Amino acid sequence: MLSLRAVNQFYGSQHTLWNITLDLQPGQCTSVIGLPGMGKTTLINCITGYLPIESGSIVWQDADALPCDLLPVSVPHRTALGISHVPQDKRIFSQLTVEENLHIARASRQDGGAVNGEIYELFPELRTLRQSKAATLSDDNQYQLALARALVTRPRLLILDEPTRGVGQAFLLRLGEFILRLKRELGLTILLAEQHLSFIHQVSDRFLLLHQGRNVAQGQVNQLDQRLLAQWMTPGAGH
């Protein structure tokens, strides 16, 4: 579905991603993991189009369609292709209602996206809050709204950047169950940037581990053992 080959990225003269190779398989969840500042969000922003890459390739291939080079494709057109993104800051419109937020997101699809009824079946709490301004929602409900905005476009790839940051423990458990449901019932492919290890083990099929912008390990999530964690996920790792 999505293939990255030898992706390099720079911030000015700083080399931030080094020859990243990654394949996302349909219907699976892959977690990009690593300590803060190791390149997780940078990698996501390259995939979504918010950052350019210096070299390498990013190719999208939908079912029964020809491969599509994403590098010249704008952010809105990547959304239209079927790539949705929930960033760390959620990017909801705080002074608009839940309903208005969903309407704006739905407009990014030429076919109108999913109807609100389908979205409210996934997020029943938002149905009762649909005339409330986003700013008045709890943090957990704001994240539900951000997810709903991403899903209203009917994506085939859902990208979540640090989804566990700032959410309560009860919502964390619900979020894990929800991601499993999206894979099971909708067949969504999901990419997470995450460092909450119990959550990664709950929802992920595969992982890619970054250290200082380099891919130091990847594989099935059951291969993410204590040796790897001690080597790369502790302060001072890699030194």
How does pLDDT run across 226-237, given as a tens digit for each residue?
888 888 887 665
DSSP state of 35: S
Residue 62: pLDDT above 90?
A: no
Could you give the 3-state DSSP secondary structure of residue 98?
A: helix
Q: What are phi and psi of 35, to 5 degrees?
A: -65, 165
Q: What's the mean pLDDT in 63-89? A: 89
89-193-225-168 Cα dihedral, nearest 10 degrees? 30
Average pLDDT score over residue span 204-214: 94
Is the confidence at residue 167, as pLDDT, over 80?
no
| Cα–Cα nearest to 38, from 209, 207, 227 | 209
Instruction: Tell me the two tokens of residue 14.
Output: 């700083």
In this predicted structure, the answer to whether residue 40 has a pLDDT above a threshold of 90 is yes
Look at residue 229 in the predicted model and tell me its pLDDT: 85
Half-sphere exposure of 163 (CA within 13 A, CB side): 30
Name the token pair of 11.
């911030």
Tokens 């931030």, located at residue: 16
Tokens representing residue 231 in the block: 């080597």
In a 10 Å sphere around its CB, with 0-12 CB exposed, 13-18 middle and 19+ buried, how is residue 186 labelled? middle
Angle between helix 139-151 and helix 98-106 axes, rounded to 10 deg: 20
The pLDDT value given to residue 4? 96
Within 8 A by CB and 6+ apart from 62, the residues are 1, 68, 81, 82, 156
Residue 110's pLDDT is 53
The reported pLDDT for the residue numbered 29 is: 96
pTM: 0.90
> Alpha-carbon distance 71 to 73, whole Å?
6
Mean pLDDT over each residue of the chain, to the nearest integer: 89
Banded model confidence at residue 174, pLDDT cuts 50, 70, 90: confident
Q: What is the mean pLDDT of residues 68-74?
A: 93
Burial 40-70 (b: 16+ CB within 10 A, else e): bbbbbbbbbbebebeebebebeeeeeeebeb
Distances from the Cα of 76 to the Cα of 10, 51, 83, 158, 233, angstroms: 23, 14, 9, 15, 34
pLDDT in tens, 79-121: 888 999 999 888 899 999 999 999 888 876 655 544 567 889 8
Distances (CA, A) of 232 to 40, 198, 229: 14, 16, 5
Report the pLDDT value the prediction gives residue 88, as an integer from 0 to 100: 86
Report the pLDDT averaged over residues 171-193: 91
